Chains A and B, each alone.
Chain A
Amino acid sequence: MDTITLAHGSGGRLSRELIEEIIYPIFNNNNGHELYDSALLPLKKGTIAMTTDSFVISPIFFPGGNIGKLAACGTINDLAAAGAIPKYMSVGLIIEEGFLIKDLQEILISLYETAVEADVYVVTGDTKIVERGSADRIYINTSGIGIVPEGASVSPKNINVDDLVIVNGTIGDHGMAILSCREGLSFGVNLKSDCTPLNGLVKELLDVGGISCMRDPTRGGLASILLELAHQSGTKMEICEKAIPLHPSVRAGCDMLGLDPLYLANEGKLAIIANPSKEEEIMRVLQSHPLGKNAQVIGRVASRDLKGTVLLETDLGVKRPLMLLEGEELPRIC
């Protein structure tokens, strides 16, 4: 059996074999939870955070990861950025007939390894097979549950004037890495997606305190997430172009394709809004962590502003408002 067939989705023997021989052996960190259709999860004190996300990315394998790793990181990071400790995850697979089982295994193994790295249990799931042509190879949905410890709160409500805007490293790496796998485009050999679980870093940051709010800027990039936070908190943020860390290959790729790195996707980045009194400690934690060594303070919350604006101070010292992306970013011709 090398490829997925429609019979794998029939609910019969092949379905069972796929689940028992291919999928279950990979997800064996279920902490004593049997992989039933519903998982029963004991609760501790605190608030429950829940999130869900679907992953339909193409290509499914890219420098620095694949759709499985991405599906795990996406959900883990959504929970972590909400201040939750991610605990449990479900995995829903929609697979196109003809998909290679070895590719499925590779994808699930990296999903699993990411979950283990983040101390998250895969506790339930679902698999559907669809006819050739009805899906683009494989789609993954992950949902996650996390616990927000009592007293912890990260929310746009907490954002105050004078708070700092910090990023934990170079932005746009994931978006540009995906583009760089297109035939005929390459932006240097060492550009990889930043796809990684952030909950470890987040925990250290929350232990320091002083974090008003956090978000992981995925699709839509840093610009979109800052605009959203400014809008939700009713503030005006000012960020400085010079301070925003960029990988040279991202810079070169953006120049070549006419794209703006502020709108490129990230999968291992955090936009952190923090109290300035904690700047030193927060930067120390960030810069001594492998996922934060290129962290930078890129701006601050300048004032209250119900409209929610973000001003970018360009290299020429001009302050111009950032706009929400209208439609998708399309690479240009020349």
Chain B
Amino acid sequence: MKLHNTERNYSEKLKDIETLARGLPAVSIMEICGTHTMAIGRSGLRRVLPDNIRLISGPGCPVCVTHDREIDNYLELAKDKRVIIATFGDLLRVPGSKGTLNAARSQGAGVVVVYSTLEALRLASNNPDHEVVFLGVGFETTAPTAALSIIQAKSQGLGNYSVYSMHKLVPPALEALLCDGSVKLDGFICPGHVSTIIGTSPYTFVAEQYKKPCVITGFEIHDILDGLYLLLLQMRQNKAKIDIQYIRGVKPDGNPIARKTMDTVFRTGDVLWRGFGVIPNSGLHIREEYRDYDASVKFGLAMDHHYINEKEAICSCGDILKGLKTPNECDLFKGLCTPLNPFGPCMVSTEGACAAYYRYEA
């Protein structure tokens, strides 16, 4: 089978998947990344897969795994008249324990939506009387650009720019899921863009230690079908290795320059994930050498690892992120929790599993 060949049409690809699935026991495959969740929802793939193949959404939406404590911290920061918050659009509607950035903005807080860290830097140089704080949310894909902005701010002598790093790493979350073992997972569709940076080696433990096959997959539906094919093929052959479907975007060793930028500015550390609690070495903290650009140091934003998240008790985000529940199994889904009036972040982000279900699958 030729991969990512758009001449092979979808129904032929689906037939190949059916053929491979026949004879397999019921398997659960996790798509770790929210972008995959959206693409799957949008195409309706779940509805045409063989009955024994189940796709489960995982913890790969950066907004969804951002902890309430972090959200409350930057909401507090937004109250400071000297501060302009520069943020990607997703975070505007995410509810903390009291309010959202959107609400803060309407009450006069300085909140500006940016589309790149470049824009945030420009904002800082245009507003010398203000402190511009970039909200660094995301995984290995976005962390390098945040790191680069810090390096640039330092070289330009921009003293009024800092980053609140809430960045997280994907492989430690997988490890936490596999260790936990409460959900049965037989294989993983891993995000192509993360591996564009980190390559394949950070996933090796999944195959070697836990004997689960992984396929690093692109985001078009052709990619996802091909990724599933490769995954089922491994299962049929009783193999567990890291395949790359997304060959046009991923080299086995990733992007060493981006990784170096990331390593220059960040060190790994334990951080709180929504739904998971503390995952060791899964977060990116700004190194001592760049502490002047670390908003958590500059503004004393504390993180308390014993923080109790009251909302988590009511909303099922944790179970959704771990793949223990599907969104429609949450009592609040479509009732108290809708995209316009989200209770949990999984309903806010365009990457969130609940938002994807609401829009495409419910």
A314 pairs with B42, CB closer than 8 A: yes
- In chain A, what residue has the closest Cβ to B33? A334
A217-228 CB mask vs B (1 if < 8 Å, else 0) is 000000000000
A258 touches B35 (CB 8 A): yes
Q: A316 touching B45 by the CB < 8 A rule?
A: yes
Give residues 7-54 of B contacting A (CB, 8 Å).
10-11, 14, 34-35, 38, 42-45, 47-48
Contact present for B122 and A183 (CB under 8 Å): yes
Given A315-B10, A316-B48: A333 and B116 interface contact (C-beta under 8 Å):
no
Given contacts A258-B35, A327-B340, contact A316 B88 (CB under 8 A): no
Kindly state the separation between the CA atoms of A330 and B94 in the bound complex, as whole angstroms.
12
B55 within 8 A of A: no
Contact A320-B90, Cβ < 8 Å, known A183-B119, A258-B351, A334-B138: no
> At the interface, yes or no: B273 with Cβ under 8 Å from chain A?
no
Given A255-B220, A317-B11, A334-B139, answer yes or no on A182-B43 (Cβ-Cβ < 8 Å): no
The verdict on B298 contacting chain A, using a C-beta distance below 8 Å, is no
- How many residues of chain A get a CB closer than 8 Å to chain B's CBs? 25
Q: B39: nearest residue on chain A (CB-CB)?
A: A255
| Interface membership of B189, Cβ < 8 A | no
Identify the closest chain A residue to B60 (Cβ).
Answer: A334
Give Cα A329–Cα B348 distance, bound, in whole angstroms.
Answer: 11
Interface: B117 (CB within 8 A): yes
| A333, B137: Cβ atoms closer than 8 Å | yes
Return the CB mask of A309-330 against B: 1 if under 8 Å, else 0. Answer: 0000011111110010011011
B220-272 residues with Cβ-Cβ distance < 8 A to A are: 220-221
Closest residue to A332 on the B side, CB-wise?
A: B350
Residues of the B chain whose Cβ atoms lie less than 8 Å from the Cβ of A255: 219-220
Contact B115 A331 (CB under 8 A): yes
Closest to A330 in B: B89
Find out whether the CB atom of B115 lies under 8 angstroms from the CB atom of A316. Answer: no
| Across-interface contacts of B139 in A (CB, < 8 A) | 334
A185 on interface, CB distance cutoff 8 Å: yes
Provide the residues of chain B in CB contact with A320, threshold 8 Å: 44, 360-361
* CB-based nearest B residue for A242: B10
Closest chain-B Cβ to A284's Cβ sits at a distance in Å of 30
B109 to nearest A CB, angstroms?
16
The reply to whether B43 and A184 contact each other, CB–CB distance below 8 Å, is no
> What B residues does A106 contact at CB under 8 A?
none
Q: Is A179 an interface residue (CB 8 A)?
A: yes
- Chain A hits for B93, CB < 8 A: 327, 330
Are B116 and A183 interface neighbours, CB within 8 A?
Answer: yes
Q: Which of B119, B137, B138 contacts A182 (CB 8 A)?
A: B119
Interface residue? B217 (CB, 8 A): no
Q: Which of B82-104 contact A (CB under 8 A)?
A: 88-90, 92-93
Task: Tell me which of A260, A315, A316, A319 has the highest count of chain B C-beta atoms within 10 A of its own C-beta.
Answer: A316
Known: A316-B44, A320-B360. A331 touches B88 (CB 8 A): yes
Task: Indicate which residue in B10, B115, B340 contacts A185 across the interface (CB closer than 8 Å).
Answer: B115
Residue on A nearest B139 in the bound complex, by CB:
A334
Query: A residues within 8 A CB of B117?
Result: 184
Q: B43–A314 contact, CB under 8 A?
A: yes
A325's closest neighbor in chain B, by CB? B339
> In the complex, what residue of chain B is closest to A319 when comparing beta carbons?
B44
Which residues does chain B contribute within 8 Å of A334, judged by CB atoms?
Answer: 35, 62, 138-139, 141-142, 193, 351
**B63 at the binding interface (Cβ < 8 Å):** yes
Contact A332 B48 (CB under 8 A): no
Chain B residues with Cβ below 8 Å from A317 are 10-11, 48
Q: A184-B115, A323-B359, A332-B351 are in contact. Are A318 and B35 (CB under 8 A)?
A: no
- B344-361: CB near A (< 8 Å → 1, else 0) gives 000001110000001111
What 1/0 flags go to A170-210 for Cβ under 8 Å of B?
A: 00000000010011110000000000000000000000000
For residue B68, give the distance in angstroms from its CB to the closest CB of chain A: 18
Kindly provide the distance from the CB of B151 to the nearest chain A CB, expressed in whole angstroms: 16
Task: Write the chain A residue with the least CB distance to B360.
Answer: A320
B204 part of interface (Cβ distance < 8 Å) = no
Find residues 51-80 in chain B having any chain A CB closer than 8 Å to their own CB: 62-63
Q: Taking A182-B116, A334-B62 as contacts, is the C-beta distance between A316 and B351 under 8 angstroms?
A: no
- Tell me whether B118 is interfacial, beta carbon within 8 Å: yes
Chain A 94-124 interface 0/1 with B at a Cβ cutoff of 8 Å (1 = within):
0000000000000000000000000000000
| Complex interface residues of chain B between 320 and 339 (CB less than 8 A to chain A) | 338-339
In the complex, what's the smallest C-beta–C-beta distance from B349 to chain A, in angstroms? 6
Write the chain A residue with the least CB distance to B222.
A315
By a CB distance below 8 angstroms, the chain B residues around A314 are 42-44
When distances are taken between beta carbons in the complex, the residues of chain B under 8 Å from A326 are 338-340
Complex Cα distance, B14 from A317, in Å, reads 11
Q: How far is the CB of B107 from chain A (nearest CB, A)?
A: 17
Query: In the complex the two chains form, what is the Cα distance from A74 to B85 in whole Å?
Result: 33
Closest CB in chain A relative to B227 CB, distance in Å: 15
Which B residues lie within 8 Å of A316 (CB)?
10, 14, 43-45, 48, 221
Smallest CB gap from B348: residue in A: A330
Contacts of B43 in A (CB 8 A): 314-316, 318
Name the A residues within 8 Å of B115 (CB-CB): 179, 182-185, 331
Distance of A258 Cα from B63 Cα, bound (Å): 14
* Minimal beta-carbon separation of A108 from chain B (angstroms): 28
23 A-B pairs with CB atoms under 8 Å apart are: A182-B115, A183-B115, A183-B116, A184-B118, A185-B115, A255-B219, A316-B10, A316-B43, A316-B45, A316-B221, A318-B44, A318-B47, A326-B339, A327-B93, A327-B339, A330-B349, A330-B350, A331-B90, A332-B89, A333-B63, A333-B137, A334-B139, A334-B141
Task: Give me the 5 closest cross-chain CB pairs, A-B, nearest first.
Answer: A184-B116, A318-B44, A330-B89, A326-B339, A182-B115
Contacts A258-B351, A317-B11 known; list 20 others, CB within 8 Å.
A182-B119, A183-B116, A184-B116, A184-B118, A255-B220, A258-B350, A259-B350, A316-B10, A320-B44, A320-B361, A323-B358, A327-B93, A327-B340, A330-B89, A330-B92, A330-B349, A334-B35, A334-B138, A334-B193, A334-B351
Chain A residues in contact with chain B, CB under 8 A? 179, 182-185, 255, 258-260, 314-320, 323, 326-327, 329-334
